[in-house]
Amino acid sequence: MNELPKIGKLGSTEPNSLSVGYPSLLKRLRGSFFFVVGYLLSPLSWWNDIFFNLPVAYGVGCLVSIFFPHLFLPAAIAGYWLSNVLGILLMQMGLIDVVQGEAKERNFKKELLTGVASSTVYTLFILGLIHFHILETPQFAFENGGLDLKAWLPFWGDR
């Protein structure tokens, strides 16, 4: 007569153990969660800025301006940039957890460098669109009627 497979303890290394699929399932769920949160923070969707990135940037700017009032705008820009970097990194981590079958050694330096580089390129692109008046900034948010990028990026010169 056929024997029923033995159900082992959670965490057992037996091939017929109940726990065989759980680490993979938990890893995929964690990866999916990181991917979704990363997508909400990343620059890959057009609508996320108003709901996620700009409130984070404003919060960072307000927090820094408590101690250094003249640094609100640079801190807000840094907060926006950091939220984009965090979003890209979370997406990368989540995607690796979901797609990768077996555990491989991860290169955190490479992941961090890729996230920083892509977010920096995106930020410079947006600043370029603002500088050349392709995108307009709200007038109420800045002193002197607008964002003067010459003060922030003097190497752009008079254009």
CB-based contact 88:53 (threshold 8 Å): no
Amino acid 129: pLDDT: 84
First to last CA, the chain: 87
Angle between helices 72-99 and 108-131 in degrees, nearest 10: 130
Contacts of residue 71, Cβ cutoff 8 Å, sequence gap at least 6 = 64, 65
Whether 39 contacts 87, CB under 8 Å: yes
Element (H, E) at 78: helix 72-99
The whole-chain average pLDDT of the chain stands at 74
pLDDT band at 159 (very low <50, low <70, confident <90, very high): very low
What integer pLDDT is reported at residue 134 of this predicted model? 86
The distance between the two most distant Cα atoms of the chain, rounded to a whole number of Å, is 88
Quick one: 9 exposed, middle or buried, by C-beta within 10 A (0-12, 13-18, 19+)?
Answer: exposed
Q: Tell me: the pLDDT tens digits for 84-105?
A: 888 888 888 888 888 876 666 7
Best CA proximity match to 87, nearest among 46, 52, 51? 52
Of the candidates 144, 148, 141, 130, the one whose C-alpha atom is nearest the C-alpha of residue 57 is 141
- The answer to whether the pTM exceeds 0.75 is no
Q: Rounded to 5 degrees, what are φ and ψ at 13?
A: -100, 5
